[in-house]
Structure 1
Amino acid sequence: MTLLLTLDDGSVQRALADAVELAREAAVEEAGAEQVGAHAGVHREDAVSASHLFEAAVPGYQGWHWSVTVAAAGPDAPVTVSEVVLMPGPDALTAPKWVPWEHRVRPGDLGVGDIFPTDAEDPRLVPAYLQSDDPAVEEVAHEAGLGRVHVLSRLGRTEAATRWRNGEFGPRSDMARSAPEACGTCGFYLPLAGSLRAAFGVCGNEISPADGRVVNVEYGCGAHSEIEVELTSSVPVAELVYDDSLLDTEPLDNEPSAAETPDGEASDGEAAEAGETVEATAQDEVADGDGSAE
């Protein structure tokens, strides 16, 4: 961070840049010798002033510097000390930017017993006697006679819808992207009333992570009411196979000739029928697991 001023030796800026020891003495007088470190540079403030920086050896102020501003009224005027302050360096840990107290409360900060009044000029609210641009709100107001003092304006509803859609239970969440179906077709989905009905509802499934929460119609989870799971055996079952590779066939003994007469001997047709019966019996035995005909 060192910035040396390179002007003529007789100039005011040269005199200010050379006043290192004067600036150190002022810093030691302000903070003590143990808290003033090495010289870290000098930078110009204007035509008649410059600031010398010294490393600050202050507990808890790592990266800070003692800034000593020196000034001179003219080339022949003596250099004097204007101020000594502790300033943060580029790597210093600093407090966050100042935020007005009414803007410091963030979602989730409000606890039991806390009071947080609404700004009288909050653009998200409008008087209830004005048209709210929400039929459901106007219907309730008429039924009650007077209705509420304030209702959500179009801006208030738009901000809420944007916040809910971009939140944990919106269509871009990890749960919604991995879900098989969307909330809009789920039996546990309870649509909101009014102008937000088309896009938002409340989950009524105790198994769902969104139970009792406002969800977008495109949100979804694995507890959808219409999901069906096909139940099958986890053990594979082999198909029944008939193996006839081991089937043996044998010709019948004493097969009658065509010249034999039907005097108790088997005819050609009867012999063929007997052969078919033997083969059928052998096949049945193979199917029963015997492996071959007996």
Structure 2
Amino acid sequence: MQSVGPHQGVEAEDEHVVTHYFTCRDRGYVGWRWAVTVVRAPDSDRVTVNEVVLLPGPDALLAPPWVPWTERLRAGDVGVGDIAPTPADDPRLDPAEVSVPDPRLPTDDETADALVAELWLGRPRVLSRRGRDDAAERWYAGDRGPNAPIARAARLSCGTCGFLVPLAGSLGRLFGVCANAVAPDDGRVVSFDHGCGAHSEALVVQTRPRPFGDRVPTAADEGADAPEARPEDSAAPAHASSAPTPDGEETQSPEA
């Protein structure tokens, strides 16, 4: 047999029973070894092969331990059309309990249906305390918690953002849903101390132009060559003045 390699050793199983180990050369069974068990009957010199099996050695490549499918599911495993059944005894859920209504309240069917719809009492099961705690820990430690890189770089937190829609119940003390269409977490649950650059109060600061006074900057201020002065841009001499005439025309005064 080409898959049988050198002899590795022998181990006594019982009186007149021993097992010989040989290296397995098969590439698909790295670290495995052939175990050949031989036996000899009492008062006999004839040795008989009892069994030959392939067993894993100390360094054998083995498959991981079997894990039930309910424990193998991870976020994102359920796709379109897939079904992930929830166990009847799921510790994350508790049976929904409907308390006896106040006798002073109307008992007609329409009012009862409205009350059930408003309080979400029509569900067979609701989140247990463990389910809420698991969700809170998972959300807080995830990409929409305070330790996300985008949150660390943000100046303002979601707790002060006008686009935050707080959750109802106890989870609403720490989480809300982002309602900003341009935010990266729009439509997702974020913690109050999460943050991003699309905060409602991240306003653009309106800068006011700085006045130059009577001086107009030229290209020379920026290190460029000053343009040649044009006649119309030159100022009038200090000794010349213009005076209006009775007919409304200006005349140039003679030089002194």
Structure 1 length normalisation: TM-score?
0.56
Residue equivalent to 1:192: 167
Matched, 1:213 2:188: yes
Which residue is equivalent to 1:39? Answer: 7
Q: Which residue of 1 aligns with 2:26?
A: 58
Q: How far 1:214 sits from its partner (Å)?
A: 0.9
Cα 1:79/1:173, change in 2 over 3 Å: farther
Q: CA deviation at 1:91?
A: 3.8
Cα deviation 1:53-105 (Å, max 9, x = unaligned): 32212242223222334567889987654433222334433222101233333
In the alignment, which residue of structure 2 is the partner of 1:88? Answer: 56
**How far apart are the structure 2 equivalents of 1:75 and 1:114?**
66
Identity %: 54
* Structure 1 residues 46 and 218: alpha-carbon distance in aligned structure 2, compared to 1, 3 A threshold: farther
**2:133 match:** 158
The verdict on how the C-alpha distance between 1:141 and 1:69 changes in structure 2, with shifts beyond 3 A counting, is farther
Inter-CA distance 174–144: structure 2 relative to 1 (3 Å threshold): closer
SS for the counterpart of 1:60 is helix
Secondary structure of 1:197 counterpart: helix
What is aligned with 2:88?
Answer: 120
Please name the residue that 1:170 is paired with. Answer: 145
| In structure 2, distance between residues paired with 1:173 and 1:90 | 42
Separation of aligned partners in 2, 1:43 and 1:217:
65
Q: Secondary structure at the match of 1:162?
A: helix
The answer on whether the counterparts of 1:141 and 1:148 sit within 8 Å (CA) in structure 2 is: no
Aligned partners of 2:207 and 2:118: how far apart in 1?
56
- Rg larger in 1 or in 2? 1
Q: Secondary structure at the match of 2:2?
A: helix
Once the two structures are TM-superposed, the CA of residue 50 in structure 1 deviates from its matched residue by 5.3
Report if the CA contact (8 A) 1:35-1:57 is conserved. Answer: yes
Which letter maps to 1:219? H
How far apart, in 2, do the equivalents of 1:140 and 1:75 lie?
90
Rounded to whole Å, the distance in 1 between the matches of 2:28 and 2:124 is 51
Partner of 2:74: 106
**Is the Cα contact below 8 Å between 1:176 and 1:221 reproduced in 2?**
yes
In the other structure, the counterpart of 1:227 is: 202
Q: Separation in 2 of the partners of 1:75 and 1:217?
A: 84
* Match in the other structure for 2:124: 149
- The structural deviation recorded for 1:162 is 1.0
Give the conservation status (yes or no) of the 8 Å contact 2:24–2:32.
Answer: yes
Distance 1:45 1:140 in 2: 74
Gaps of 5+ in 2: 100-113, 216-237, 239-256
RMSD: 3.5
Corresponding residue pairs, total? 197
- Provide closer, same or farther for how the CA distance between residues 55 and 195 of structure 1 changes in structure 2, counting only shifts above 3 A: same
SS where residue 134 of structure 2 aligns? helix
Do the aligned partners of 1:43 and 1:51 also contact (CA within 8 Å) in 2? yes
> Aligned partners of 2:20, 2:207: CA distance in 1, in Å?
81
Judging changes above 3 Å, is the alpha-carbon distance between structure 1 residues 224 and 146 closer, same or farther for their aligned structure 2 residues?
A: closer
When residues 207 and 74 of structure 1 are mapped into structure 2, their CA distance, relative to the original with a 3 A threshold, is farther
CA contact (8 A) 2:98 2:121 kept: no
Whole-Å Cα distance in 1 between the matches of residues 13 and 191 of structure 2?
57
- Structure with the bigger percentage of helix: 1
Amino acid at match of 1:158: D
- Paired residue type of 1:67: A
Structure 2-normalised TM-score?
A: 0.64
Are the aligned partners of 1:201 and 1:216 in contact in 2 as well (CA < 8 Å)?
Answer: yes
Q: Structure 1 CA distance, aligned partners of 2:156 and 2:19? A: 66
> Which has the larger displacement, 167-176 or 82-91?
82-91
